[in-house]
């Protein structure tokens, strides 16, 4: 997602599915390490949650709007509201727990 489509895809999404957004940058080592895990989760949760990535260098306005000061930062939105948030290279089980909580 980008600054231009973030509200439409995440905040105003007509779907009742939770949305996981991975705020990252290509120069961030922990972000690159987390990328395959995010891809796996996107496949595993297909149809139950939407998973997006936002490059903070290409789209700096949205991270600023949510007060993101460190990357990677993962935020789970539901009905346009933040329901879970984590910073750093967290493990897959932590991320799936965030999504499962939002699905409950």
Active site residue ranges:
28, 31
Handedness of CA 63, 58, 40, 77 (dihedral sign): positive
Cα–Cα dist 98/7, whole Å:
21
| Structure-token pair, residue 13 | 């999404």
Distance CA 37, CA 90 (A): 10
């Amino acid at each position: 997602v980008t600054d231009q489509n973030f509200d439409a895809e995440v905040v105003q999404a007509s779907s009742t599915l939770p949305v996981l957004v991975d705020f990252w940058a290509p120069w961030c080592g922990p972000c690159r390490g987390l990328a395959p895990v995010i891809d796996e989760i996107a496949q595993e949760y297909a149809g139950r949650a939407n998973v997006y990535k936002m490059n903070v260098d290409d789209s700096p306005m949205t991270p600023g709007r949510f007060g993101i000061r460190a990357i990677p930062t993962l935020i789970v939105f539901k009905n346009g509201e933040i329901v879970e948030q984590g910073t750093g290279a967290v493990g897959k089980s932590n991320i799936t727990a965030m999504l499962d909580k939002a699905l409950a």
